[in-house]
Amino acid sequence: MHDLSAFRKAEIPPPAMLARKPEDAAMEEEALRELLLLLKKRRYAFVTPTPLSHSRILARDAARPARDLRDVFGWNRPFSPDLLDRSVMECLKRAEMVEHRADGMMRSRVRVSSLDDDLFLHSSYPTVDRDAVFFGPDSYRFARLIRQELAMRPARRGARIADMGAGTGVGAIVAARSCPQACIVMTDVNASALRFARINAGVAGFGASYVLADTLDPVAGDFDLIVANPPYIRDRQGRAYRDGGDGHGAAVAWRMAESALSRLKREGRLLLYTGSAIVGGADALRARLSALAESRDCTLCYSEIDPDIFGEELEGPAYRDVERIALVAAIFTRRH
């Protein structure tokens, strides 16, 4: 599990968080914004599958280079230097997001996924780096959960919204689309994630505050709505987007819930989308979250979205006593 204590009080001063000159970082971010806008104009769309599905698709014709934009920015295949039009190629170069290969081919160092009319930048395939930023099936399910909840009970106009562990910013952007004039805060322990989130939100038409932290501790004030899609797998590679820490990967989700519930306004909600390891038929996370809700004067609606995910993880030593990993939604509402 990561030691996150050093990040708790660090606020992101966009766009200079990464190790380069502020003016260079600003130019790179502007190039990535232009790239997303160009792809939107070209009606680019790509639904990102799981990494296992991605690898299987590439394995069908491993030597084939990219033929179109979906191959370049979706499947992340190598491409010939003359495949992309000049404007798209210039954006990649200015953003320093093009990899030059020894065989003369190129490869994008970013991928782009679509969700309805929005596009989301995220890391290239495979997402093996510790600071990789992932967008995939969980992102789509998380978005659906937020939409369904806000359709049943809309947030008030101008609501204050926080997205904890924002990643690409999908939770905040989807919530904001259902809430006119929302005031948005995004937090994450990964500076690369906040960089992508800032670009994605800007292209979607939303401004926000960005804070490098694992909880809401550095952020002032309370919230009408908090959404969170924390990592929930005990990841052997320690990747920030995937490693949920102790308790079979539940530690980050628990810490986020504990932080968020103390920051809800009256009738404010926390929408927690996460996974829970089931041991001997018992859901330990559900029991802990139920007790936490009662202690914080909140109601809890808890449900399984999918009873069995990431079955391959059960082969690892961290899951030797686990019978299944359930995908769950925990919706907290503050009473008073």
Q: Are residues 141 and 115 in the same domain?
A: no
Q: Are residues 116 and 223 in the same domain?
A: no
pLDDT of amino acid 19: 55
Q: Does a structural domain hold residue 196?
A: yes
> What digits encode the pLDDT tens for the residues 75-98?
999 999 999 999 999 999 999 999
Instruction: Answer yes or no: are the C-beta atoms of 244 and 300 closer than 8 Å.
Output: no
pTM for the structure as a whole = 0.91
Q: Are residues 70 and 183 in the same domain?
A: no
Find tokens 């190629």 and name the residue: 89
Q: Does a structural domain hold residue 8?
A: no
pLDDT of amino acid 332: 98
Which of the pair, 173 or 15, is modelled with greater confidence? 173
| Residues contacting 281, CB < 8 A, separation 6+ | 323
**pLDDT exceeds cutoff 50 at 6:** no
Q: Are residues 197 and 249 in the same domain?
A: yes
> What digits encode the pLDDT tens for the residues 306-323?
999 999 999 999 999 999
Q: Are residues 31 and 112 in the same domain?
A: yes
Q: Does a structural domain hold residue 235?
A: yes
Q: Does a structural domain hold residue 17?
A: no
pLDDT of amino acid 7: 30
DSSP line for 135-182: -SHHHHHHHHHHHHHHHHSPPPTT-EEEEET-TTSHHHHHHHHTSTT-
> What digits encode the pLDDT tens for the residues 192-205?
999 999 999 999 99
| Residues contacting 23, CB < 8 A, separation 6+ | none
pLDDT of amino acid 140: 98
Q: Which of 100, 123, 146 is the last residue of a domain?
A: 123
- Which tokens go with 332? 């907290």
What is the spatial distance between Cα 229 and Cα 14, in angstroms, rounded to a whole number? 23
CATH (domain of 237): 3.40.50.150
Which of the pair, 22 or 300, is modelled with greater confidence? 300
Question: How many distinct helices (H) and strands (E) make up the chain?
Answer: 10, 13
Q: Which of 123, 158, 178 is the last residue of a domain?
A: 123
The total domain count for the chain is 2
pLDDT band, very low/low/confident/very high, at 240 (cuts 50, 70, 90): confident
Q: Are residues 178 and 118 in the same domain?
A: no
Q: Are residues 147 and 243 in the same domain?
A: yes
Q: Does a structural domain hold residue 144?
A: yes
Q: Does a structural domain hold residue 16?
A: no
Q: Are residues 153 and 238 in the same domain?
A: yes
Average pLDDT over residues 139-159: 97
Q: Are residues 210 and 160 in the same domain?
A: yes
Instruction: Answer yes or no: are the C-beta atoms of 76 and 107 closer than 8 Å.
Output: yes
Instruction: Answer yes or no: are the C-beta atoms of 191 and 212 closer than 8 Å.
Output: yes
pLDDT band, very low/low/confident/very high, at 57 (cuts 50, 70, 90): very high
Average pLDDT over residues 119-136: 95
Provide the residue range defining the domain that includes 95.
Answer: 22-123
Q: Are residues 115 and 147 in the same domain?
A: no
Average pLDDT over residues 36-46: 98
Find tokens 């987007």 and name the residue: 241
> What digits encode the pLDDT tens for the residues 225-235?
999 999 999 98
> What digits encode the pLDDT tens for the residues 106-118?
999 999 999 999 9
Q: Does a structural domain hold residue 128?
A: no
**pLDDT exceeds cutoff 90 at 20:** no
Q: Does a structural domain hold residue 110?
A: yes
Q: Are residues 158 and 245 in the same domain?
A: yes
Q: Which of 89, 123, 157 is the last residue of a domain?
A: 123
Q: Are residues 169 and 59 in the same domain?
A: no
Average pLDDT over residues 51-60: 96
